Amino acid sequence: MKSFLFTILAFLSGIVATHAADAPVKTLEIGAAAPDFDLPGVDGNQHRLSDYADAELLAILFLCNHCPSAQGAESRVKALVEQYRDKGLKLVAISPNDPKSVRLNELGYSLYGDTLEEMKLHAERYEFTFPYLYDGETQSTARAYGAIATPHLFLFDRERKLRYTGRLDDSRYGDPATIGKHDAREAIEALLADKPIAEPVTRAHGCSTKWAEKRHLVEDDNAKFLAKEVTVEEIDHSGVAALRKNATGKYRIINLWATWCGPCLAEMPHLVEIGRQFETREVELITISTDDAGAFGKVGTLAKRFHAAMPDLVAASVAEEGRRTNNYLYRGSTDSLAESLDPEWQGSLPHTVVVAPGGEILHRFSGEVDPGELREALVGTLGRWYTPD
């Protein structure tokens, strides 16, 4: 009987927890007290609200690694910290995201995902001058504050009552010159001058918080990709030359490989993943096998094993070009392949080039590509945030 009761209680607890997770997130109202937190930071320490009791003003900023709006705001956050540090402001950034609820193609602006370990790398690389905490484990702090986006700012007075919430400023771009209204700065100035804030609530703009209950969307996206057909076609000298000419607005990662090449097979899963990651940045992965014509079946088998399919946006752009695949078997000599794709290629495999619209080779990798280096090359070329059209 006791076992039965425990089972019922556990079942009911699961229902309550599910409903709590699915409940709409409500942003703190002006005048509300700052919710407490106990979160790990990129510095290896636990951080609590009480750790910042001496601050005249406390800004809690929900931020993350992957979002272009959040990344575009980083320089402004550091400027805000520097400008008001001596006036009593302390700013604490918190990543609210569940890393497993971020789709692969949402990472096209970033070198890193939203795990705590990647937050440490991101904060070090971009020289964060403020605490950066991780709430992705339970997301309880994000729910308590009602963080709906990254970035989303909450500004508290000396008594830790909420006085301002919303955006940092009115620009979603990385260039400070695009800012028309400095909302957070105006709110800080008003509080320091003991004056009312003209607009205490503004709309936060950025990437939506990635709640754990949305993990199924990532799973669905992965399943949809794995269901895609993988095809291979033959290509000759003129076909490769057309790919290199690249009369499109896309960036092309063109990889030369062979079924007998160990490093080629080792790097292929990373290339497929990167192709998916940068789908929304108009980047396409093209693989060209240098195997003999008799190996067509084997090339196709391995391409399917690595699932070198085309993501939706890439497939649509390829169809617009009148092409049917992004995987090819080259028919011709090594010399003719080099002449049509990259005259600097010496013939060793694997060999990978990044080709800009119009045909310029921006990056080349001889030998097995380091996926981190390729991501750096792409993000360095494409940028970490939105830019005005």
The end-to-end CA distance of the chain, in Å, is 67
**CA 21 – CA 11 distance, rounded (Å):** 15
Provide the phi-psi class of 383: left if phi over 0, else alpha when psi is between -120 and 50, else beta. left
Q: What is the pLDDT of residue 3?
A: 37
Three-state DSSP at 305 gives helix
E strand or H helix at 207, and its extent? strand 207-208
Q: Which domains does the chain have, with CATH numbers?
A: 25-214 (3.40.30.10), 228-381 (3.40.30.10)
**CA 355 – CA 88 distance, rounded (Å):** 50
Q: What is the pLDDT of residue 24?
A: 80
Q: What is the pLDDT of residue 23?
A: 65
Cα Rg of the chain, angstroms: 25
Q: What is the pLDDT of residue 11?
A: 37
Q: Over the stretch 314-339, which tens digit does the pLDDT of each residue have?
A: 999 999 999 999 999 999 999 999 99
Q: Are 369 and 270 in contact (CB under 8 A)?
A: yes
Number of Cβ atoms within 10 Å of the Cβ of 273: 15
Provide the phi-psi class of 160: left if phi over 0, else alpha when psi is between -120 and 50, else beta. left
Q: Are strands 38-40 and 46-48 parallel, antiparallel or unpaired?
A: antiparallel
Question: Which regions of the chain are under pLDDT 70?
Answer: 1-23
Q: What is the pLDDT of residue 389?
A: 74
Residue 93 forms beta bridges with which residues? 61, 132
Residue 164 forms beta bridges with which residues? 155
Helix intervals (H) in the chain = 2-22, 68-84, 116-125, 140-145, 183-192, 215-226, 237-245, 262-277, 296-305, 312-321, 334-341, 371-382
pTM metric for this prediction: 0.91
- Two tokens, residue 255: 């990889």
Q: Over the stretch 56-94, which tens digit does the pLDDT of each residue have?
A: 999 999 999 999 999 999 999 999 999 999 999 999 999
**CA 288 – CA 286 distance, rounded (Å):** 7
CB within 8 Å of 39: residues ≥ 6 apart: 46, 47, 94, 133, 134, 135, 141
